[in-house]
A and B are shown apart, each in its own frame.
Chain A
Amino acid sequence: MATEIDPQLLEKIQGAAQAARHAADTAQNVADQIAVGASAASGGAIDPFMFRLAIFALAVIVGYYVVWAVTPSLHTPLMSVTNAISSVIVVGALLAAGIDESVGEGSSIARFFGFLALTLASVNIFGGFLVTERMLSMFKKKG
Chain B
Amino acid sequence: MLNGNIAALLYLTSGVLFILALRGLSSPETARQGNRFGVIGMAIAGATTLLYQLPWGFFSFLWVLLAMGIGGSIGVWRARTIQMTAMPQLVALFHALVGLAAVFVAASALYGPQGFGLGLPNSIHSTTLFEMSLGAAIGAITFTGSVIAFLKLDGRMSGNPILLPNRHAINIGLGILLAIFIFAFIATEAHFVFWLIVLVSFALGVLLIVPIGGADMPVVISMLNSYSGWAAAAVGFTLSNLALIITGALVGSSGAILSYVMCKGMNRSFISVILGGFGGEVAAPAAGEGDVERPPVKQGSAEDAAKILLAAKRVIVVPGYGMAVAQAQHALREMADILKSKGIDVKYAIHPVAGRMPGHMNVLLAEANVPYDEVFELEDINPEFPGADVAFVIGANDVTNPAAKTDSSSPIYGMPILDVEYAKDVLFVKRGLGSGYAGVENELFFRNNTTMLFGDAKKMVDGIVKALG
Contact = CB atoms under 8 A, between A and B. Distances in A.
A87 B101 contact: yes
B25 A126 contact: no
A62 B250 CA distance: 7
A88 B18 contact: yes
Interface string B211-239: 00000000001100100110011011111
A63 B242 contact: no
Contacts of A21: 117
A132 B73 CA distance: 16
Interface string B333-344: 000000000000
Contact of B366 (A93, A123, A129, A135): A135
Interface residues of B, number: 124
Contact of A98 (B56, B252, B366): B56
Contacts of A85: 18, 21, 38, 41-42, 247, 250-251
Contacts of B105: 89, 92-93, 96, 113-114, 117
Contacts of B48: 91
Contact of B42 (A77, A114, A119, A129): A129
Given A76-B362, A107-B111, A88 B70 contact: no
Contact of A64 (B25, B229, B257, B359): B257
A65 to B, nearest CB: 9
> What's the dominant secondary structure at chain A's contact region?
helix
B269 interface: no
Given A75-B359, A133-B35, A111 B112 contact: yes
A106 B53 contact: no
A85 to B, nearest CB: 5
B109 A110 contact: yes
Interface in A84-142: 84-101, 103-107, 109-111, 113-142
Nearest to A83: B94
B19 interface: yes
Contacts of A114: 104-105, 108
10 contacts: A59-B246, A69-B26, A75-B258, A89-B98, A90-B101, A96-B116, A99-B115, A122-B68, A141-B28, A141-B373
